[in-house]
Chain A
Amino acid sequence: MPKIKIDGDLYERVKKFAKLAGYSSPDEFIIHALEKELSKLDGADSDEEIKKRLQGLGYIS
């Protein structure tokens, strides 16, 4: 998997708030935050949900 470098202080803050917010790990928190921001940029949350559902159909690999 690709890795991304972030500032050490920022990572410590991420670690602290990930724990406070109940994430299982800082990685999960960062992935969630990035996905949330990207979905805003995509501007079609509901469309994405529909696409996800279609791709979840066994008939479609």
Chain B
Amino acid sequence: MKKGRKLNSTNMNNSKNRIPRRQFNQTMAALALGALVSSCDKKSPRAAHKVLIIAIDAMDHEILSRLMNKGAMPNFSRLAAEGDFRPLMSSIPAQTPVAFSNFITGMNPGGHGIFDFIHRKPGDVILPFLSTSETEPPKRLIHFGKYQLPLSGGNVVLKRYGEAFWQILARNGIPSVIYKIPSNFPPAPSALCREIAGMGAPDMLGTYGTFSYYTDNPPDNASKVTGGKVYTVWVENNIVRAEISGPPNTFLKDQPDATVPFTVYIDPKADAALIEADDNKLLLKVGEWSGWVTISFKLAPFAPDVKGIVKFYLKAARPDFKLYVTPVNISPEHPALPISYPESYAATLSRETGPFYTQGIREDTKALQHKVLDDHEYAEHALHVLEEDKRNFWRLFDCWNEGLLFSYFSSLDLNQHTMWRASDPLSPAYTSALNRDFGDFIEKLYIGMDDLVGRVRAKIDKNATLIVMSDHGFAPFYRMLNLNTWLAENGYMALNNDAAGDKIEFLEGVDWSRTRAYNIGINALYINLRGREVNGIVEPGAEAERLIAELAGKLEALVDEKTGKRPLRKAFISGKVFSGDHVAEAPDIILGYDRGYRTSDESALGGFPKNFFSDNMGTWSGDHCMDPEIVPGILLSNKKIKASFPFIHDLTPSILAEYGIGPSSRMVGKTIW
């Protein structure tokens, strides 16, 4: 979130996502009705049919098949025997925000406009941003002493286009509960629906998650830590005083970060400490996590406090003091941003189940990457996330009397990303010690999901439809392609004479008058097209088409000299594979990597590392941003599936068909039944 932007309001007045008048009236009517009737009481003949969708992000078809074949997933096997089991083709590219946008709308990216985790705004400076939502600042401010007051609300805007399937269901009288679906922040407003935002929802700082690490002996990499901040503290008489940073205080003219002070009293004899933060007092042993703690940021005397929730983890008390604090999550009980629909729903669920992570990506892979959390500490934290999702799922399941329930589990995705190196000896980051401790970590997570499916099958109504699906599969990530470096070396990009080569980030130092193509994003390649890009030099039409075909051909033929393999299976030309109103906004080429390869981190953010390829030595050792044929997801149902190789966007009309509703004309998916 940019400084100076206000933490409030929804996308209801956003012209791109404006809801139609009739739907708005239905929404308001439903809200009025909701005040009188609880969700468990609503009944309509059509809504009596129940559909449960369990979405397990990144459950891989090959791994699941192997585990089923050896009898490790008996409940998945029983579900497959009762109905069907298929590989599920992901989106192009096979990224979660894109794939779930396909699933939500039944369209491909040309229709819903989400093409990558990272998009770019063509301008004087090509500035990338996270694709699924955007915050707009308040338009007018009034100054009052040291304070400034917004006269109009800022907006958080969902950048995904198209109607969500649950909005269509609601128009037909079918209620839904949508728990943490990605690419739905802020949640699409809809009558009869209850929604909790998922991947894409920010923490209190407006980021995907910024942890805090307090220590009196900061690591050498402290200034280079991303996704978190290292604070140097002093221990005086066994006492540490520090602050937790919150959002910028937009009521103050210079907008300093709001903070909450806290004090740590280290036990002089035992490996433990007492932490006082606001009115909370926590006694933690070394190696112990706290539960959720609510903290209040005071912005101005006339404004209500903004509340967040954090967890503390005491890594060490002495000789060095080490305290990890999770990113400040928006309090579900007092949300400062629209993390649910209706806005009161997050508080309702929190009161029923207890507080929960509200940031979209919960597993703190950045703390692991920067060694703030070691593998054991990260694994314990990651399992807390899974337990919380399971706890909330069972609450929703037990209260589910009609209509559709969708519930999302992130654990397989984030933990395959980080722990792939523990079970794959070919991973550059593999060690035998890691294998000894975590070699079966991923497999255990799969088996844990089997247990959940077994319990669901035992409890679900006989006539209900059960769908278990994933958005994509998974694969190793051994080698990184520095695509911008390749483009520059092959004459498609040029740098200014004073550009700092491998120090460049965000395409700074690019000579656009001599640049014909560039990479921003994990799977995206753009042509420097005249009329679309401010400094475009490639003429639209025949010249652009020739260049795209030439680049696609060369990239598909590219060979990694170290391995002798071709890193790219397919260079998808967006004009050929996408359809819909937003094709013109798409990257010109979507890179379909082969197993083991992906764009490098540096290139994805507009950098130029030295060589074409490099080994991936990081903890982020598995990935799925590849040709979707390499990483199919999974689809199981207790109903027979006619489609032999369904696509993820086929599920949308299939869900509607469960209630006798036909697909909209903009959908490209076809029913699987």
User: A56 is contacted by which of B3, B226, B234, B241 (Cβ under 8 Å)?
Assistant: B226
* Interface status of B233 (Cβ within 8 A of chain A): yes
Closest CB-CB distance, B328 to chain A, in whole Å? Answer: 13
Q: Which residues of A contact B125 (CB under 8 A)?
A: 47
Q: Which residues of B contact A38 (CB under 8 A)?
A: none
Of B3, B208, B506, most buried by chain A (CB within 10 Å of CB) is B208
Nearest neighbor of B203 in chain A, beta-carbon distance: A56
CA–CA, A51 and B220, complex, Å: 22
User: A50 is contacted by which of B2, B226, B232, B414 (Cβ under 8 Å)?
Assistant: B2
The verdict on A25 contacting B233 (CB below 8 Å), with A54-B128, A58-B227, A61-B620 known, is yes
* Interface status of B522 (Cβ within 8 A of chain A): yes
* Interface status of B261 (Cβ within 8 A of chain A): yes
Q: Check B207 against A53 for contact (C-beta < 8 Å).
A: yes
Q: Check B117 against A59 for contact (C-beta < 8 Å).
A: yes
Q: Check B117 against A46 for contact (C-beta < 8 Å).
A: no
Q: Which of A32-61 contact B (CB under 8 A)?
A: 45-47, 49-61
Of B2, B242, B522, most buried by chain A (CB within 10 Å of CB) is B2
Q: Check B209 against A61 for contact (C-beta < 8 Å).
A: no
Q: Which residues of B contact A58 (CB under 8 A)?
A: 208, 227, 361, 363, 365-366, 369, 414, 417, 620
Q: Check A57 against B232 for contact (C-beta < 8 Å).
A: no
* Interface status of B605 (Cβ within 8 A of chain A): yes
Q: Check A49 against B2 for contact (C-beta < 8 Å).
A: yes
* Interface status of B492 (Cβ within 8 A of chain A): no
The verdict on A61 contacting B234 (CB below 8 Å), with A53-B130, A55-B226 known, is no
Nearest neighbor of B4 in chain A, beta-carbon distance: A46
User: A49 is contacted by which of B3, B242, B363, B623 (Cβ under 8 Å)?
Assistant: B3
Contact with A along B333-371 (1 / 0, CB 8 A): 000000000000000000000000000010101100100
* Interface status of B375 (Cβ within 8 A of chain A): no
Closest CB-CB distance, B177 to chain A, in whole Å? Answer: 27
Closest CB-CB distance, A2 to chain B, in whole Å? Answer: 9
Q: Which residues of B contact A10 (CB under 8 A)?
A: none
Q: Check A54 against B3 for contact (C-beta < 8 Å).
A: no
Q: Which residues of A contact B659 (CB under 8 A)?
A: none
Nearest neighbor of A56 in chain B, beta-carbon distance: B227
CA–CA, A27 and B232, complex, Å: 7
CA–CA, A47 and B625, complex, Å: 26
* Interface status of B210 (Cβ within 8 A of chain A): yes
Contact with A along B221-252 (1 / 0, CB 8 A): 01100111001111000001111000000000
CA–CA, A54 and B332, complex, Å: 24
Closest CB-CB distance, B522 to chain A, in whole Å? Answer: 6
CA–CA, A53 and B208, complex, Å: 7
Q: Check A24 against B227 for contact (C-beta < 8 Å).
A: no
CA–CA, A47 and B242, complex, Å: 28
User: B222 is contacted by which of A1, A24, A52 (Cβ under 8 Å)?
Assistant: A1
Q: Check A61 against B2 for contact (C-beta < 8 Å).
A: no
* Interface status of A22 (Cβ within 8 A of chain B): yes
Q: Which residues of B contact A25 (CB under 8 A)?
A: 232-234
The verdict on A56 contacting B261 (CB below 8 Å), with A27-B232, A50-B129 known, is no
CA–CA, A55 and B227, complex, Å: 7
* Interface status of A12 (Cβ within 8 A of chain B): no
* Interface status of B604 (Cβ within 8 A of chain A): yes
Q: Check B209 against A56 for contact (C-beta < 8 Å).
A: yes
Q: Check B417 against A55 for contact (C-beta < 8 Å).
A: no
CA–CA, A55 and B130, complex, Å: 10
CA–CA, A27 and B223, complex, Å: 13
The verdict on A55 contacting B605 (CB below 8 Å), with A24-B242, A28-B232, A50-B127 known, is yes
Q: Check B618 against A61 for contact (C-beta < 8 Å).
A: yes
CA–CA, A56 and B117, complex, Å: 12
* Interface status of B118 (Cβ within 8 A of chain A): yes
CA–CA, A28 and B414, complex, Å: 33
CA–CA, A31 and B101, complex, Å: 42
Q: Which residues of A contact B505 (CB under 8 A)?
A: 51
User: B207 is contacted by which of A31, A45, A46, A52 (Cβ under 8 Å)?
Assistant: A52
Interface, chain B (partner A; CB < 8 A): 1-4, 117-118, 125, 127-130, 206-210, 218, 220, 222-223, 226-228, 231-234, 240-243, 259, 261, 361, 363, 365-366, 369, 414, 417, 505-506, 522, 601, 604-605, 618, 620, 623, 625
Known: A1-B222, A49-B206, A61-B618. 9 other contacts (CB 8 A): A1-B223, A24-B242, A25-B232, A25-B234, A46-B2, A49-B3, A58-B361, A59-B604, A61-B226
Interface, chain A (partner B; CB < 8 A): 1, 22, 24-25, 27-28, 31, 45-47, 49-61
Which 9 A-B pairs have CB atoms at the shortest separation, nearest pair first? Answer: A56-B227, A55-B226, A58-B365, A24-B242, A61-B601, A46-B2, A60-B601, A56-B207, A25-B234
